[in-house]
Structure 1
């Protein structure tokens, strides 16, 4: 019996660890819509859905989306130079405090160069741990700041650590925001090794993937050229998150991954 009890305790520990890992990786048990489902739903209901959208049709092309959290930072200008040189669009989920307010010219540049500018909250509060009023403030303040700088109000947000729930969905819907999680994480917050960051991204990437990186860490931006070149060599086309969903559109209050 003691052996059986020990096995049960070990199983419980493994289950808890697995749950934590899934939550931190953005793969927690959330009812999320995949890009292909978003595209398929739109195609079924929209007349003329066979038209191409922008320069890429992800119903035909092997698309993948690069996304960057928690900037802008002192590394973002170099990142934008790389993306411009490689002709790759990205989606930036920006923080407000100490980031948007510190580097407003980079926010303007991101939008001007064709990247999708979105929200990662004002101060990286875990939204599932705070009141509805504070959730609303965390989401509204960066939206207002981004709109002042770019002329466009964000339609996407990424909850810190991917932690979300029904209250977050409700408030996001009120504010016209869809939530975007991810399918690929390099965990670049754990290492400055650019080669390891590159390997982790390439090992996990697949069609319709959403890659999570952080341009605030020193090892990340140097890894980006190699990631882009290797994925292009595999036949991938880089798009923003809205392009990945087209002809579908991100619906406020829904979660995409």
Structure 2
């Protein structure tokens, strides 16, 4: 099949500058409603990739996200949320972006066009066959990402991808491709919109499902979360109160002693 970038096709809307504020935001909202339905169609693809991620992490491997621009930032966002949410090491889920950390805030010119830097960035982490790499690119053509996956494949490292175009070079070079076809953007080519939302939804699925499978959740609670601020301490106290049927004072005492919701519950039941 021919490769067609639906993410770059003309918007279904025109003369945006003549629209009222209400018309603009209502139209954006209308387009956004497409996204979860598009994600739903790709659940079988997502399941295959997540099964592989779970297997790798259970056997001591790591999950890498690699992307450029918005896609790279979304990968870094998802990776950075794993330690505080699930109490895992910062080295378990790692997000890489073309242009390095500077590109998180400001675009780095031509960084995404490199055909070698993606692999070089991965090599800095001593990447191996134990790990898995997920390339993120709405277009599915970003050289930094595509060529990184090609090198991973050559080195027997499992690869997945999240893209919003069908049969893209990225999909064809990923062993576990995820294609979320959301169609043209409200603002032509602005893939930070529907495509970015789709990528975020899939990333949520990948890490949340993986961490549940790794035993980092109890019931429906984040019992391994880092207690890094007052809000999270308060949440932890409520979890302990509900689980052990104890007072707030008793829950706080347990939390202060064991520094962990999970450990507080385990020791509180003894």
Q: TM-score, normalised by structure 1?
A: 0.35
Q: Would you tell me which structure has more strand in proportion to its own residues?
A: 1
Q: Would you tell me which structure has more helix in proportion to its own residues?
A: 2
Larger radius of gyration: 2
Q: TM-score, normalised by structure 2?
A: 0.34
